[in-house]
């Protein structure tokens, strides 16, 4: 449901979107057609968001990643030793994500819709 609301909101704003139901499907898509940004839930079926990040960086290192999680404490435990997290280079939003905050973060990371295409 969260994914569907993000797709609807970002699509209405003019972002070009590709939707995947899990990390494996997303990697398959990214191998064929990398994009500017992947919005990734930390807890996904088939592979977690952090594993997805490692795989994605190996095939498409320029893709920015925006993590979304409803478990901020667990997320911080998972990434506490990650240098990107320690140095503030990891992008994360905590559920529930307000639409204005999502749009602002996406624009900060990849620019307005016309710049992301």
CATH code: domain of residue 94: 3.40.50.2300
| Cα–Cα dist 93/30, whole Å | 22
Residues 37, 10: contact at Cβ < 8 Å? Answer: no
Q: Output the pLDDT for position 2.
A: 83
Residues 84, 57: contact at Cβ < 8 Å? Answer: no
**Residue whose token pair is 């960086």:** 57
Specify the number of domains making up the chain. Answer: 1
Q: Is residue 113 situated within a structural domain?
A: no
Q: Is residue 98 situated within a structural domain?
A: yes
Q: Is residue 88 situated within a structural domain?
A: yes
Contacts of 4 (CB under 8 A, 6+ apart): none
Q: Structural domain of residue 33, as residue ranges?
A: 2-108
pLDDT at residue 110 tops 90: yes
**Mean pLDDT value across residues 33-44:** 91
Q: DSSP letter string over 17-74?
A: ----SSHHHHHHHHHHS--SEEEEESS-SSS-HHHHHHHHHHH-TT-EEEEEES-HHH
| Cα–Cα dist 29/19, whole Å | 9
Q: Is residue 115 situated within a structural domain?
A: no
Q: Is residue 117 situated within a structural domain?
A: no
Question: pLDDT band at residue 77, thresholds of 50, 70 and 90?
Answer: confident
């Amino acid at each position: 449901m969260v994914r569907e609301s993000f797709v609807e909101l970002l699509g209405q704003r003019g972002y070009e979107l590709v939707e995947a139901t899990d990390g494996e499907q997303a990697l398959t898509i990214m191998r064929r057609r990398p994009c500017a940004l992947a919005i990734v839930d930390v807890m996904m079926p088939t592979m977690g968001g952090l594993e997805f990040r490692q795989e994605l960086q190996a095939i498409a290192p320029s893709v920015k990643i925006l993590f979304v999680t409803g478990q901020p404490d667990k997320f911080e435990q998972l990434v506490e030793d990650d240098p990107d997290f320690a140095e503030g280079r990891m992008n994360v939003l905590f559920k529930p994500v307000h639409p204005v905050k999502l749009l602002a973060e996406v624009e900060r990371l990849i620019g307005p819709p016309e710049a992301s295409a």
